[in-house]
Structure 1
Amino acid sequence: MMPIRHPMRIGLLLALSIALLSCSPAPTLRIGSNPWPGYLALYHARDLGLFDGHPIRLVDFDNTEDVLRAFRNRAIDAAAVTLDEALHLAESGADLRIILVFSISHGADVVLARPGIDTPQQLRGRRLGVETNALGAYMLARLLEQAGLSSQDLTIVHVPLQEHEAAYRSGKVDAVITFDPQRSRLLAAGAREIFSSRALPGEVVDVLVVREETLRSHRTVLATLETAYFQALTQLQRDPQAAAGTLSRRIQIDSADLMAAWNLMELAEQPRQHILLGDGPGSLHHTMQRMQQVMQQAGLLSQPVLQSIRLGTAP
């Protein structure tokens, strides 16, 4: 005969199980980024101890292509990317949320060329280095469009971000689509700026994306992240020189060059976020609509993807 289980014992076991589950630690939020000056307020938050005691981990990558690959492979939970890169992620089938806007580039992303190449039109017949699976592809499409060139008019050379400087200095390329810290180094080496994100107002926007499922599973941690980020951003903008002294080492750039890079972008403060992540005029949704059209025309997207991207953290 099977023994009769005592109802009180079963109740105690159930209560203990529930208590253990409720005490289990929150899942760690892994955030991947490349060395872009616009992301550094995240690292400032960590340096200030604002992540202490919270399951938040910043994961460094050498370039954006590695960030995108890690996100697709679920090695990270959140990715710091540009809007066009977010559209690429959505095309791979993920339902995404843009939950934070880091920066809007106003000249921080550039095309640098050798002396003697003074206009985009003079790239005809030259070798242009670019990260072809990241923002560089979008910058290239817009550069060609505005210069009246086609991709057949020049030689496109795939060069990962961390190799931009070496590719230019070695003569592998005549020009490169890049950003700091490579921008500052190449300008110091004599390169000339012939195109930049100034010609693309409001288009080069850096954001933090997560999957919808991550928004649900990490909602409390994401709220902590947002609060800490804006506290750190306020500190950074209050005393950028002090922040640059520490943060410049992370991306191997002189602190003065880092502050100059920050001056070429808008680091979006919290009130601006409400506009960018809202539904009204100035929303990123309208920017993404235009960007999707450009990317489809340039062959960078095979189909519309905006139905897979939502803005903000509201349910």
Structure 2
Amino acid sequence: MLRKANIWLVFLAILIIAGVMLYVMSPKKQAEYPVELTIGIATWPGFASGIIGMEKGLFDRIDLEHRILDDAPARHAAFQSGDIDIMISSLDVFAQEAAQGIKGKIFLITDESFGGDGIVARPEIKTPADLKDKKVAFALATPSHFLLYKVLEKNGLSPSDIQQIKVDDPGHAAHAFLGGSVDAAVTWEPFLTEVKEKGKGHVLLTTRDYPGIIVDVLVASKKLSQNSELLCRFINGWLRSVEYIKQHPDESSKIIARGLNIKGEDVKRMMSGLRFADWSRNAEFFNARKPLKTKIAKILKEAAEFWKSQGIIAKMPSVNDLISTTATEYFSSKGKH
């Protein structure tokens, strides 16, 4: 009799364990657990909204890990291998990356340069048109290069109208200018301020004068792109984080400084030269049901054509394949989510 009772107890225990496991493994219960995502970023506050979101609990059931990968090849490798789910880029640079075989879809605008990049010049260069025949230093195949192209184009010039001094970094372009070997340079902060303070020249223009050219983006992996529900939850959390930054800039700059491991005053200076992209600004770029009709597609196509004309890429990428349809549908819907 005792043996029979023990058998029933074992059987009952098995039933209870099975029931618990079925409950835990059920789709509804699994959905309650946070999904782990990894984003590869660079040391730039515009890419750090997610750091705010994680600290303030603004992401719904998403555990977002930030991995700082300032080296672009390392970032590309991590993205292509699946080590990271999301990669940062800029619209103009992603046109290059896609042409070079990196597969992903743009699904969010993070920020735009708004005063943080510009052109410094000698005092006698009063307008962009005065750059004709002058020695201009710029970092090849970077957003600085694309900015210079757009400035020249708007003022009736082309790259062939200037003496192109190609360097590998915007900081090196500034050093060439400060050293007196060039007439102008495309650079960024803190070098724009340094030129003014040293009286070596003046700031001819910045991205405040040319907004919407240097635009930073997030690129989703194929796996993440196929999960529309998760992608929308991520976008919601990111945009909530942007709103928090706008409402609490001082607190946010401290959190970002800790997350990026840089000084608070450096973060504030960087933030003064950028504009975080909120829901409305993203809608301006994504607001079209068909990806090819978006503002993003226009910039990507223009950038790709320019890079191809300069020999930076060998062939044009398929722009339609570079933009998330989940994002276009999200931002084309009426009202904020």
Alpha-carbon distance, 1:169 to partner: 5.0
Matched residue SS, 1:313: helix
**Percent of aligned pairs with the same residue?**
21
> Match for 2:42 among 34, 37, 40?
34
Aligned to 1:128: 137
1:154 matched to 2:163:
yes
Alpha-carbon distance, 1:38 to partner: 2.6
Aligned to 1:213: 223
Aligned to 2:319: 306
Matched residue SS, 1:303: coil
| TM-score (normalizing by structure 1) | 0.72
Aligned counterparts of 2:191 and 2:55: Cα–Cα separation in 1: 24
Alpha-carbon distance, 1:306 to partner: 0.9
1:160-180 deviation digits (Å, cap 9, x = unpaired): 356566565556765432334
Matched residue SS, 2:101: coil
Matched residue SS, 2:273: helix
Matched residue type, 1:311? S
Long gaps (5+) in structure 1: 1-11
Aligned to 2:89: 81
Q: Is the alpha carbon distance of 1:43 and 1:96 closer, same or farther for their aligned partners in structure 2, counting shifts above 3 Å? A: same
> Match for 1:238 among 238, 247, 256?
247
Alpha-carbon distance, 1:135 to partner: 1.6
Matched residue type, 2:221? R
Matched residue type, 2:326? T
Aligned to 2:269: 257
Long gaps (5+) in structure 2: 1-16, 330-337
Checking the alignment, whether the CA contact within 8 Å between 1:127 and 1:173 is kept in structure 2 is yes
1:228 matched to 2:217:
no
1:139 matched to 2:147:
yes
Checking the alignment, whether the CA contact within 8 Å between 2:53 and 2:59 is kept in structure 1 is yes
Aligned counterparts of 1:297 and 1:76: Cα–Cα separation in 2: 32
Question: Which structure features the higher share of helix residues?
Answer: 2
> Match for 2:287 among 254, 260, 278?
278
Matched residue SS, 1:76: coil
Alpha-carbon distance, 1:27 to partner: 7.3
Alpha-carbon distance, 1:260 to partner: 2.7
Q: Is the alpha carbon distance of 1:52 and 1:170 closer, same or farther for their aligned partners in structure 2, counting shifts above 3 Å? A: farther
Alpha-carbon distance, 1:198 to partner: 4.6
Matched residue SS, 1:285: helix
Alpha-carbon distance, 1:117 to partner: 4.5
**Aligned-residue CA RMSD (Å):** 4.2
1:60-93 deviation digits (Å, cap 9, x = unpaired): 2346566456545655332221111121122123
1:288 matched to 2:300:
yes
Aligned to 1:247: 256
Aligned counterparts of 2:81 and 2:160: Cα–Cα separation in 1: 31
Matched residue type, 2:272? A
Q: Is the alpha carbon distance of 1:52 and 1:268 closer, same or farther for their aligned partners in structure 2, counting shifts above 3 Å? A: closer
Matched residue SS, 2:213: coil
| TM-score (normalizing by structure 2) | 0.68
Q: Is the alpha carbon distance of 1:284 and 1:53 closer, same or farther for their aligned partners in structure 2, counting shifts above 3 Å? A: closer
